[in-house]
Amino acid sequence: MFLIFISLNLVNKSYASSEEIINISYRKLMKQIHDGKTYEVQYNPSKTSAIVNTLIGIPVYINFKKRKTYSITSIWPGIVSAVWLTDSIAYLQGSCGTECAKSVIFIAPSTVVSCAEHQYRIKSLDEHYPPDFRHNIPLLIDIKKGIYICYDNTDNIQIFPLPKYSTIRPPKGFYSEKTEIKHNKLIVTYENGHGKMKKINYGAI
């Protein structure tokens, strides 16, 4: 069982940081698509949903039947492509800076998973200097077997199952050091920088 936690940075300014997840409503996103105010719209094979690359640089999943949206990542100016591998699984890839590539696997309607970043040293062998390039691109995504393969944080190659649970995003400004399952329900205890505690029940596991 893999539960994916995405940390949000504390935001003390009145505007959103590049790490903040910005939600866009179904009505607003449909208007942007209708008005042509998007970079790209990639429809899934059945055309029941799509991934929209918005003008603010956030890839957003939209389900036309359920009239719902889900922001896949925070602002990502370097996103290049979103490719549907099945009707419900997509692979997004793009740039994250000089000699850097970033990718995520999205499982509709609300699961985001990614590999650890791996550094490649071919000419730049001195660890005191930047690597030749770095990225978190999976070595393999096998839909039939339901797995993806990639490097972990210790530079070992690991095989992971594609998760079946939704990504859990902590409330803005909160972090968690305690997660438990009580009566088959996931309970996460959060705390903010001022010591305020908050418990959230995420339902049956």
Q: Is it the case that residue 169 has pLDDT exceeding 70?
A: yes
The predicted pLDDT at position 85 comes to 98
- In the block, which residue shows the tokens 């590049």? 18
pTM of the model: 0.84
Gap between the Cα atoms of 28 and 35, Å rounded: 11
Question: What is the number of residues in the chain?
Answer: 205
Gap between the Cα atoms of 101 and 10, Å rounded: 25
Q: Is it the case that residue 130 has pLDDT exceeding 80?
A: no
Torsion angle, alpha carbons of 25, 31, 34, 38, to 10: -60
Determine the distance from the C-alpha atom of residue 151 to the mean position of all C-alpha atoms in its chain, rounded to a whole number: 17
Our separate counts of H helices and E strands in the chain read 1, 16
The predicted pLDDT at position 166 comes to 95
Gap between the Cα atoms of 191 and 174, Å rounded: 5
Local confidence band at 124 (pLDDT 50, 70, 90 cut-offs): low
